Structure 1
């Protein structure tokens, strides 16, 4: 029987951690390709090359694995953006680099991105936490840009959720569904929208 204490399932050795990471990698592929509800623990252990009983040495159930994968996606995405966006860029330049980097990330980790989207139907709190955590850091970045007069002030929280919505659907359209990804022309169109919105020049304040 799996332990009820999640902390007791954490590996104590480097070999144990390597096994745990293999299980997570196999779960990422199984969930991404088959969906959380269709993928079985047997699919995961077969992909990881471990016995089914080994799974329960590290995780209590599929839901726990899903939660760990979503949190991993959040950490990896924030780390990738930190390293992909030079510190000396203006806010708008950083937005462009961030969108381009995010699209590359989604294209390279399609299964993991699908796992995050499916978590909404498994554990809404995990899904919500993923986006709320990202939004907090994003708002902080925009606040700093306002202080430096790189962008105008406004309802930054609402703006952040709008920008995140843009990134999310671009990720679906050009990260998961398009063979060629997001090209320069499409990225130019995204930045034109971020800079200018949809109002005619004569209608802008």
Structure 2
């Protein structure tokens, strides 16, 4: 079996310290995508970074490796290729940025090389963020892809909750993060198949509180 691959938009603290950590421990190769030169360059130059859980007497540190990083500003074609062969796309870019990442995701969906649909999960501090992202993506899709979208992609809303405290000035890529977390993802969009295997994610039928 080939290695599972996840594309994550947003190389900030939530992306590196929360979303990518879960994907990493679930066995995915993580491909970070960002437009910030400093973050992408740092990820490309460092083979690993550390995520440290704080807020309890039992401090735990985890090493995150097996990742790559692409600057979507200069290498959009590479991002499209990666999405075409990935299992999951996640993002933590801020709700106002969703419309800017949608076109490249749409191109990746149009060019899908895998038989199975890609899971699209927006990890934003906003209700229905994946629905919002889907709307922007579908505006860029061809009619034929839109009519068969279930074969190409499955879109699931999520709710995330994790506190990222102030980071040390010299932390670099390393992230300190609170131990408590919640990451719930809708399960219905993946039926009749199983949802993607992401350790620590709570799949629920309904995200309504």
TM over 0.5: no
Using the size of structure 1 for normalisation, the TM-score is 0.28
Using the size of structure 2 for normalisation, the TM-score is 0.28
Give 1 or 2: higher strand fraction: 2
